[in-house]
């Protein structure tokens, strides 16, 4: 990834920030089974141009406006094999898309105690050729196809995304904040495993896949104590989600050129409460954060439309951070995090057909990974701190007490008792020490 940025001052009131951003992500994973070799490749590339203006009308009014254009290139996947009888080599054609947006935002200081920021953003997404678009029946069979040439527009979608934030100062130490925002998402991540793997697949909105929409409202109370030495907040939020995407039961999404036929769509919701307390000054600083939340989906084709937790649903999420200044040059820190295990779909039973064991599934994401927690320790030494140059040395230990947090859980027949199925936990990064040198000028 790389970024080029250019700032320009037109005068005392108008500023411009131009950014050109390039990103190219891909993976290449090899598998060996006996003498058979297989490689899986996939990737996603983006060219992004942003023009952001800021216009200061006066002390009470500030305008922000701009445009954004992105060129996406998706490489759905490629399989190379040294044995066509073991697995057939496959190449899926690249897909291309254009994404654009324009926005206007107005910050208004209505009174000394009341601030308002509101705006409107229009975003659009267009699939472009070359590509072949398929139509499917209820049995996921191809019933029609249409080919498009290079640069030809296939399908376009656009949405207005309004947003508003209200901030009211109750007194010098406390305030209330309320907000509403709508967002459209045109890129979607597909995964049918219990862990986030590089082989997860990115797809874009197209004729068969609608953009996801989210409407969120939030309300928060903020209060500082002891001359701003401590700050605290409590916020509640509710998010309504449309066009949520999941895979159907038994779906094959890896290296499937008809992957859209494996998807099902529905609605979602997310709601929760966030608590935060932070100490800003003194030799000991740090913060405590806690989130109580719920994230669910309802899709007619899954569990008869019943609400089920998404994989990212976490009931409890806690983080505690402490930083202690030993001397002008040295400080030490400690971080402890805890969260409820991700929701996953595990087999609830099995049956045997002609000598082969077949897992049986009941509900989507009806099980939980074990809860996640770890502690990190660190120490930083300031080597130099001058006007034009600063440098420091950091020593840290990730997961200091070696907690074996599960990355994934798989199932297999027991080697000692083939009739028994056992769960196998894969854990990564039990304890990782590191040394880092930082400098800036």
* Burial environment of residue 268 by CB neighbours within 10 A (0 to 12, 13 to 18, 19 or more): buried
**What was the pLDDT predicted at 198?**
59
CA distances from 398 to 194, 395, 424 (A): 23, 10, 24
What is the signed CA dihedral for 47, 97, 263, 239, rounded to 10 degrees?
60
**What was the pLDDT predicted at 280?**
95
Convert the pLDDT of each residue in 301-348 to its tens digit: 898 999 999 988 999 999 999 999 999 999 999 999 999 998 988 888
**What was the pLDDT predicted at 63?**
97
pTM for the full model?
0.87
Q: Using pLDDT thresholds of 50, 70 and 90, give the confidence band for residue 194.
A: low
Q: Quick one: what percent of the chain has pLDDT higher than 70?
A: 97
* Burial environment of residue 117 by CB neighbours within 10 A (0 to 12, 13 to 18, 19 or more): middle
Q: Using pLDDT thresholds of 50, 70 and 90, give the confidence band for residue 199.
A: low
């Amino acid at each position: 990834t790389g970024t080029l940025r250019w700032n320009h001052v037109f005068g005392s009131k108008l500023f411009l920030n131009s950014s050109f951003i390039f990103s190219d992500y891909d993976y290449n994973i090899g598998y060996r089974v006996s003498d058979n070799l297989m490689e899986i490749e996939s990737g996603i590339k983006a060219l992004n141009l942003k023009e952001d203006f800021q216009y200061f009308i006066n002390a009470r009014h500030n305008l922000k406006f701009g445009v954004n254009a992105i060129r996406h290139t998706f490489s759905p996947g490629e399989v190379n094999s040294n044995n066509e009888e073991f697995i057939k080599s496959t190449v899926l054609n690249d897909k291309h898309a254009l994404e654009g947006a324009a926005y206007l935002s107005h910050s208004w200081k209505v009174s000394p105690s009341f601030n308002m920021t509101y705006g409107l953003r229009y975003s659009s997404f267009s699939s472009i050729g070359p590509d072949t678009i398929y139509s499917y029946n209820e049995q996921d069979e191809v019933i029609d196809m249409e080919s498009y040439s290079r640069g030809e527009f296939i399908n376009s979608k656009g949405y207005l995304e309004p947003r508003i934030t209200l901030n009211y100062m109750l007194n010098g130490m406390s305030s209330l904040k309320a907000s509403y925002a709508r967002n459209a998402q045109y890129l979607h991540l597909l995964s049918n495993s219990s862990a986030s793997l590089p082989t997860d697949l990115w797809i874009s909105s197209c004729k068969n896949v609608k953009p996801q929409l989210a409407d969120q409202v939030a309300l928060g109370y903020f209060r500082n104590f002891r001359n701003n030495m401590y700050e605290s907040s409590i916020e509640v939020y509710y998010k309504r989600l449309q066009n949520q995407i999941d895979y159907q039961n038994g779906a094959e999404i890896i290296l499937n050129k008809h992957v859209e036929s494996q998807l099902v769509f529905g609605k979602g919701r997310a709601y929760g409460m966030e608590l935060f307390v932070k100490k800003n000054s003194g030799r000991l600083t740090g913060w405590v954060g806690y989130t109580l939340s719920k994230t669910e989906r309802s899709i007619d084709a899954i569990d008869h439309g019943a609400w089920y937790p998404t994989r990212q649903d976490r009931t409890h999420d806690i983080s505690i951070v402490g930083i202690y200044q030993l001397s002008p040059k040295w400080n030490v820190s400690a971080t402890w995090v805890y969260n409820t295990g991700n929701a996953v779909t595990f087999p609830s039973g099995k049956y045997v057909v002609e000598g082969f064991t077949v897992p049986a599934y009941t509900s989507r994401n009806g099980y939980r990974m074990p809860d996640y927690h770890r502690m990190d320790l660190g120490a930083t030494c300031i080597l130099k701190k001058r006007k034009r140059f600063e440098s420091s040395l950091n020593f840290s230990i990730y997961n200091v007490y070696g907690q074996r947090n599960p990355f994934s859980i798989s199932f297999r027949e027991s080697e000692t008792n083939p009739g028994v199925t056992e769960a196998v936990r894969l854990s990564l990064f039990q304890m990782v020490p590191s040394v880092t040198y930082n400098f800036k000028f």
